[in-house]
Amino acid sequence: MQENLINYTKEAFRSAFESEPERIFLAPGRINIIGEHVDYSDGFVLPASIDKYICFAVKKNDDSKNCTFFAKDFNESFSFNINHKQTPVEQMWANYLLGVFNAVQELGKEIGGLQIAFSSTIPIGSGLSSSAALECGFAYILNELFDLNLTKKELALIGQKSEHTFAGVKCGIMDQFASVFGKEHQVIMLDCNSMDHQYFEANLEGYSLVLFDSCVKHTHLTSGYNDRRNDVDHGKKILWENFPDIEKFRDFTFKMLDNVRTEIGETSYKRCLYLLKEIKRVEKAAIALSEGDAEYLGKLLTETHSGLSTEFEVSCEELDFMVEETLKEDGVLGARIMGGGFGGCSINLIKDENVDEVINNITAKCKADFDIEMKVYRVKISDGIREYKQDECGI
């Protein structure tokens, strides 16, 4: 699969620029094992890079004042002058790249002309962060080719800034961080506020992480997300009024929350209860992974889905059905909705020998009950953004 993508992208470069690329880079998508909606509440998340990539075929063109891109999957090209101040354009995919260039330009860094063709195996719109891979992949390329001396953390922040300023999406840092900092067979426990992080081994031998894409996109994702933020902020305000010595939301106890339950109201209480539980689940999940305790990890995933569905209320009928039916299958240790909610993917922990049967059964049930053509993505935890070397083995 990876070799096919690389060859496909090289051919796209040859077709677009009538020459050979000089270097190849791979930027991965990501999953979040556990830790949903806690990134803006002093919590931890547990992302990992996966073996779905954007591949970039690249050639420096020092005689040119232009950066020229060919997006093979869209069959579209875009070019901009490196000496000009950039502004957002109609081609959305180009904005992610322009935003990165703009952020680098604002740091006073200089780059030369480039030709880049890229293609992807990260499904767009599936919640696997193809945008972060595009942004951070380009930032990484600029850093490598023009000796910008930017740190990994700076590259992640440049990707996030691009999404904020040129794509208009006020995302957290998790997606970009995972794409840049990912390590094969390891997950990252990340504090999204401080960007403090540590790695835990992902000991999942005999088990697979499989994503089921419902292909459902409910229109109230943005409004629902903002409503949840408001519910949480209301609860936080009253908690801090009652317990001003607490520094971080994650340090409130369940007893403290119970003490203000009447004052904050049942809705805000449920939202905050979910978040405090989820923050603790992330820490437990990291340990379970590193100890190879797949059974307990699966239990935590399922608890998270229950919380997202009944306490944070960001699931939907289709996803609840998908998770509920998946959990009935032999060999399934846990399942949950992944991402912001109101549609998208579920992430499922399944024994290797049962994966095919579970996929077949759930695909059939989703088709029968909701007329959904479910998509399936089998993923493995991989390295973060890197240059592909021609002499790599096992590709």
Can you tell me the distance from the alpha carbon of 263 to that of 270, in angstroms, rounded to the nearest whole number? 13
Q: What does the buried/exposed string (b/e) look like for 230-240 if buried means 16 or more CB atoms within 10 Å of the residue's CB? A: ebbebbbebbe
142, 162, 191, 193, 375 from 103: Cα distances, Å: 12, 7, 23, 20, 36
Per-residue DSSP letter, 381? B
- Which are the catalytic amino acids? 175
Strands 386-388 and 23-32: antiparallel
d(CA 280, CA 186): 20
Question: Contact 68/37 with Cβ under 8 angstroms?
Answer: no
Which three-class secondary structure state does DSSP give residue 68?
Answer: strand
394: its two tokens: 């096992």
Q: How far is CA 64 from CA 52, 76, 112, in A?
A: 32, 20, 7
